[in-house]
A and B are shown apart, each in its own frame.
Chain A
Amino acid sequence: MTSGEQSQGRRPQDEILAGEYVLGVLSLEARRAVEQRMANDRAFARIVERWQADLASFNDDYEEVAPSQAVFGRIETRLFGPARVAPSTWGLWDSALFWRWLSLATSAVAVVAVVYALGVIPGPQGSAPLVAELSSTNNQINLLASYDAGNGRLRIVPVAAGGREEKSLELWLVPGSGNPRSLGVFEPDQAGELVIPADLRRNMAEGATLAVSLEPFGGSPTGLPTGPVLASGAARRP
């Protein structure tokens, strides 16, 4: 296999390799090589994903068996630590390693997504704003980041999502329990600003958890996030 090559159409070899990966017959080294290729070759990754979906009905053969009670506690300890502490802020933005964290600054009427890029965006040089278009191999979305050196503020807005159709970014308020509530959909021409519905403004306080998901154009059709979730974090005073 030549690594890094882009699939032009689909070759039977790719179908077989992807199928072998999903069946699970490959060696560990071969599995890593397939995963490496998936990361670099979107067309090949889709072939693997399709086998995964196709063969998923074989999962019916796995009859449910309950694990020991203690297992979930160990998982929680691994994820959240031994003490019952508040959930830590997520490491954000899987696909773009640039971002160390994102905080959502709030005011009474608007929410502006403010991203602090550590060591990535160069310091002030001239007066023109810096603009970066961010994309990932997953190509779910591209983001336009513009950085104003004057006030250190960086705004992100979604641009044409890679491929199939235009998408929207939707902002959610995540309650302690129950379903997230939509705070609105970011409009492409509003430079990352969103007007929070009046009845939800009292919830926009320090400590509130906010999240942004990628949704079909115009916002989630179901009223609940359909994902993927791009970022989440607790609101605080910058």
Chain B
Amino acid sequence: MQSNEIAALVNRVAMGDRKAFASLYNSTSPKLFSICLRILKDRADAEEALQEIYVRVWQRSRTFAVDTGSPLAWLAAIARNHAIDLLRARKPVAEDLDDVYDLADDGTLDPEQQVANADEGRRIDRCMQELDSVHARAVRRAYVEGLSYLELAEELKVPLNTVRTWLRRSLLKLRECMER
């Protein structure tokens, strides 16, 4: 289904159209279910999560606006956020926000460059290629599987702080590349 058709369905759902909700579910639930399965790795948990996700889609549909981005990205974000929350609640990770971001230079990025383009999703692919391939894989796995820093460290057999530094540096490099 085309992006604009999904967007139209979301907006009809926002107006309380239950038929549109069923169509939206039929066309998008295989993708969102895949997200749940990949992150939660348990079919029963994933189906439970999917229910909650579509309840939220119904409730939040009125906040969706065509000009803020792709409807599928919007739906996927709702699904990923919920699945990751469940995963973190299931297996808490010790991790604090206050640790030092001792990375690179500390300059302020230029707010003038804050331009969000629809094609940035594609630009990210090019920017990912500029990263060290091991780092790029770590970034992608963290996203797709919802791995914590600790899990990434175990999977990649490197110290926790190393993997954290990789990811943080990668994020800054990606942002810098996207703005070039």
In whole angstroms, what is the CA distance A156 to B126 when docked?
48
- B side interface size, CB within 8 A: 91
Q: A52-B77, A54-B120, A64-B31 are in contact. Are A20 and B114 (CB under 8 A)?
A: no
The residues in A between 181 and 214 inclusive whose CB is less than 8 angstroms from any CB of B are: 209, 211, 213-214
- Which residues of B have CB within 8 Å of A228? 14, 62-65
B171 and A15: CB pair below 8 A? yes
Residue on B nearest A138 in the bound complex, by CB: B63
Contact among A28, A50, A176 with B116 in the assembled complex (CB-CB below 8 Å): A50
Shortest beta-carbon distance, A191 to chain B, in Å?
Answer: 24
In whole angstroms, what is the CA distance A227 to B8 when docked?
9
Q: A1-B97, A27-B88 are in contact. Are A66 and B29 (CB under 8 A)?
A: yes
B111 and A25: CB pair below 8 A? no
- Which residues of B have CB within 8 Å of A76? 18
Shortest beta-carbon distance, A181 to chain B, in Å?
Answer: 11
- Which residues of A have CB within 8 Å of B14? 211, 213, 225, 227-229, 232
The answer to the question of B158 belonging to the interface, with a C-beta cut-off of 8 Å to chain A, is no
The answer to the question of A65 belonging to the interface, with a C-beta cut-off of 8 Å to chain B, is yes
Shortest beta-carbon distance, B161 to chain A, in Å?
Answer: 13
Contact among B60, B105, B146, B171 with A16 in the assembled complex (CB-CB below 8 Å): B171
Overall SS of chain A's interface? mixed
A224 and B11: CB pair below 8 A? yes
Residue on B nearest A61 in the bound complex, by CB: B144
Chain A interface residue bracket vs B: 35 or more
**Chain A 30-65 interface mask (CB, 8 Å, partner B; 1/0):** 110100000000000010011011111111011111
B30 and A213: CB pair below 8 A? no
The answer to the question of B15 belonging to the interface, with a C-beta cut-off of 8 Å to chain A, is yes
The answer to the question of A19 belonging to the interface, with a C-beta cut-off of 8 Å to chain B, is yes
B109 and A15: CB pair below 8 A? yes
Contact among B15, B85, B107, B144 with A62 in the assembled complex (CB-CB below 8 Å): B144
A227 and B47: CB pair below 8 A? no
The answer to the question of A71 belonging to the interface, with a C-beta cut-off of 8 Å to chain B, is yes
A227 and B168: CB pair below 8 A? no
B50 and A71: CB pair below 8 A? yes
A227 and B65: CB pair below 8 A? yes
Contact among B34, B55, B101 with A63 in the assembled complex (CB-CB below 8 Å): B34
What would be 19 A-B contacts, judged by CB atoms less than 8 Å apart?
A: A9-B110, A11-B109, A12-B172, A19-B175, A23-B139, A25-B167, A27-B92, A29-B97, A30-B96, A31-B84, A53-B69, A56-B76, A57-B121, A74-B51, A76-B18, A79-B55, A211-B14, A228-B65, A232-B62
